[in-house]
Structure 1
Amino acid sequence: MQTTPQTRTRMSKQKSRDTDVELALRRALHAAGLRYRVHRRPLRGVRREADVLFGPAKVALFVDGCFWHGCPTHATWPKNNAEFWQAKIEGNRLRDRDTDERLASAGWLAVRVWEHEDPLEAAERVRVIVLSRRQREARTKQPRQLRS
């Protein structure tokens, strides 16, 4: 079964960036004292963009929509054109896993937040991760003390 024109129109109007959820999370991150880049590619040559990027800490934050990324709690599986949507959502999940693996192999940490999560709680979780990685980075860059 084909997607109806109404469904196609509705889906094409879905924002892919600067969603209300994303903006609320960024406001909470900023209020927590974190500074970041928005919609940047963490790795050169890889066409994958993080929603929020903490460069020195090497943390890439992705805000995943429940429908588009197949949330285990809130995902819905359309009855119309079911095979297409199943393949689309499963493809998104595979790409997400591949992105996480590529980032990890380059020393980055991918953090994923579901759109249904409370922005303040998610921001606090991210803050702890970023600060921890910043401290770890600072320790590895400290010059070694000369022994007497």
Structure 2
Amino acid sequence: MNKLTHQFVEHLPDQLEEGALYISIKFATVAHLCCCGCGNEVITPLSPTDWKLTYDGKSISLDPSIGSWSLDCRSHYWIKHDKVKWAGSWSKQEIEECHVREAEQKAVYYEEEQPTVEQTETKISVTPERERPELLGRIKHALRSWFS
């Protein structure tokens, strides 16, 4: 398969069709049947640390490539402007190195984005309560915004 037809949907269908790329913005998910024809479903979550979707008003691109390393087919391809661009197969070592790199990138991203308990305690303890009687209200507001 060398071309996909994209469809924006709210919910993914129970049965995916060959050659269709389903995009659910609501659930930040893209799904399709593996482009090699093996019939396996491929789910690509959209997030700052997973796949990124580009819609140019006419076609869809996903980045990075799709490596179906856990499937028997071990397909590897890019989806660029609704077209499938086949990529080379990776060795087990390349796959493992990629998984380690992705895990490290996610850890860095989520560490920077989410305050730790220590950061929260530090921010809360900066202003002594006796100097700011409204501190409890500010703490509650800060905690709600950090963890919502």
TM-score w.r.t. the length of structure 1 is 0.29
More helix by share: 1
**Larger Rg, first or second structure (1 or 2):** 2
TM-score w.r.t. the length of structure 2 is 0.29
- Flag the structure with more relative contact order, 1 or 2, with Cα contacts below 8 A and sequence separation at least 6: 1
